[in-house]
Structure 1
Amino acid sequence: MSRRTLPPPPPPIEMRAWPDHESLLADRARAMGELGRLSIGVPRLLLFWLAAAGFVVGWVLIGAALKSFEESVDVFSYMIIAVMVGLGLGCMVPTGLAIGFGIRRDKVVRERLGQWASLARDPARDARYRFPGESLFWLVPSFLLCALGLWLCIAYPATARRGEQTYAGVTLAVGTGFILWLTGLMGVAKAVIHYRWAVRLLGTVASRETDDAHR
């Protein structure tokens, strides 16, 4: 979902040529800071929401086409429906691919964060990689989006009345709710995964400091 180049992984042991430990820590801090922002930063969240919104727009177009199909009576109406379906697929396919590529990119980012984190320890800088504000910005709206999607999936069909809501309308609402629920769930999962990674990172640092103090 972003063409920004990722920081490379740390070089293999036999190719490492840092002149001193401080140089290693400086490169580690730059790489981890950049990877952390690419993973949990606000621009990443906005791109994710933009892709999800495009997917929702595509589904709404297809749902509107289904509703029109129930009421269509002439060839012109069917042509309009075909155009709406084409536009809907034109929105859903590229945004779905963008979300899929973004998930794969996130996996690479997490792997590289782990590689740079295991390279050394730097208690003075590692606390900043918790990104508490960014994590909260991912968690709270995503949770609300998840709740809204779940409500649409459950409440709308439960309150639908024969003759008032069409099958296409219920399908549109449930599909939209499912997309919102899945989008919110992915955002919540991302915030939780980053929090657990940060806890492990800081916990490892704390345990090492304790071990060094006892020696």
Structure 2
Amino acid sequence: MSRRTPLPPPPPPVEIRSWPDREALLADRAAVLGTLVREHVSPGRLALLWLWGALCALGWLLVGTALITFEESYDVISAAVGVIIVAMGVGCVVPAAIVVVIGLRRDRRIRRLLDAWGGLDRDPARDAALRMPGASLAWLLMSFALCAAGLYACFAVPAGGALDGEAYGLAVLVMGLGLTGWIVGLIGLVKAFAHRRWVLRVLAGAPAPEPLFSVGDGAHR
């Protein structure tokens, strides 16, 4: 995976904050929140999630193909080919799964930082750019479609009798691909709803906190 951009630090404690005035605080707040929102729900993050999901799906496709090979294998050479395909599939699935788990932990840190920095003050003019309704809607719709397709592959296809009752390898292949799609789609849905909830709670719904600076004197409290 490519090297990730380091996340901004949390805001400093009240007793050591050194912004000269409220405008400086709002400027830093807007810059940090912009970075965090892009790291969380930008279109590039959605494409990256789907990329790792596709790698995992490719790995499962190889594993399912190997199982089908084992079912139809009647010689040592075919069995050896199946083992090689399984190894290739595992080599795709394991790194993709590890990266997705690391990404989920990073998203949790991002949401904590969003709450911390967003709670410093209110700035409606700058906050409007942080809502990103288009990107959030794209996450929601595309993730929902992927979830629906994954659930259909996991349950409706096997239950509908589309797979031969003896084709266990094919059933594992289809259900594994469906499960992969469902998990990736679910991650996307959670991120879309989390961003929307943050917008409503921090940017729109919550009352403005008590100002850190007294009006007119520019002195830090």
Query: Are residues 110 and 69 of structure 1, via their aligned partners in 2, closer, same or farther at CA, if it must alter by over 3 Å?
Result: same
Letter in 1 for 2:37: G
Residue segments in structure 2 that go unaligned for 5+ positions in a row: 211-221
1:39-50 to 2 correspondence within 5 Å? 39-50=40-51
- Normalised by the length of structure 1, the TM-score is 0.91
| Shift, 1:81, TM fit | 0.8
| Shift, 1:175, TM fit | 1.3
| Shift, 1:19, TM fit | 1.0
Deviations along 1:36-71, one digit per CA (max 9) or x if unpaired, are 010000111111101111111001100000000001
Which structure is higher in helix share? 1
| Shift, 1:166, TM fit | 0.5
Q: Counterpart of 1:157?
A: 158
SS at the partner of 1:11?
A: coil
Highest RCO, 1 vs 2 (Cα 8 Å, sep ≥ 6): 2
Instruction: Provide the C-alpha distance between the structure 2 equivalents of 1:66 and 1:152, rounded to a whole number of angstroms.
Output: 18
Query: Is this contact kept in 2: 1:61–1:84, CA < 8 A?
Result: yes
Q: Counterpart of 1:6?
A: 7
Letter in 2 for 1:175: G
Q: Counterpart of 2:193?
A: 192
Query: Is this contact kept in 2: 1:18–1:24, CA < 8 A?
Result: yes
Deviations along 1:121-155, one digit per CA (max 9) or x if unpaired, are 21222232211011011011111111111111122
| Shift, 1:22, TM fit | 0.5
Aligned residues: 208
Query: Is this contact kept in 2: 1:25–1:122, CA < 8 A?
Result: yes
Letter in 2 for 1:77: S
Letter in 1 for 2:198: W
Query: Is this contact kept in 2: 1:55–1:92, CA < 8 A?
Result: yes
Q: Which moved more, 1:12-21 or 1:55-64?
A: 12-21
Q: Counterpart of 2:205?
A: 203
Query: Are residues 162 and 185 of structure 1, via their aligned partners in 2, closer, same or farther at CA, if it must alter by over 3 Å?
Result: closer
Q: Counterpart of 2:216?
A: none
Deviations along 1:168-210, one digit per CA (max 9) or x if unpaired, are 11111111111111111111111011101100111114799xx
Query: Is this contact kept in 2: 1:160–1:170, CA < 8 A?
Result: no
- Normalised by the length of structure 2, the TM-score is 0.89
Instruction: Provide the C-alpha distance between the structure 2 equivalents of 1:92 and 1:161, rounded to a whole number of angstroms.
Output: 26
Identity of aligned residues (%): 47
| Shift, 1:107, TM fit | 0.4
Instruction: Provide the C-alpha distance between the structure 1 equivalents of 2:208 and 2:57, rounded to a whole number of angstroms.
Output: 44
| Shift, 1:14, TM fit | 2.5
Q: Counterpart of 1:113?
A: 114
Query: Is this contact kept in 2: 1:40–1:135, CA < 8 A?
Result: yes
| Shift, 1:9, TM fit | 1.2
Residue segments in structure 1 that go unaligned for 5+ positions in a row: 209-215
Letter in 2 for 1:59: W
Indicate yes or no: 2:57 matched with 1:56. Answer: yes
Letter in 1 for 2:31: R
Query: Are residues 18 and 131 of structure 1, via their aligned partners in 2, closer, same or farther at CA, if it must alter by over 3 Å?
Result: same
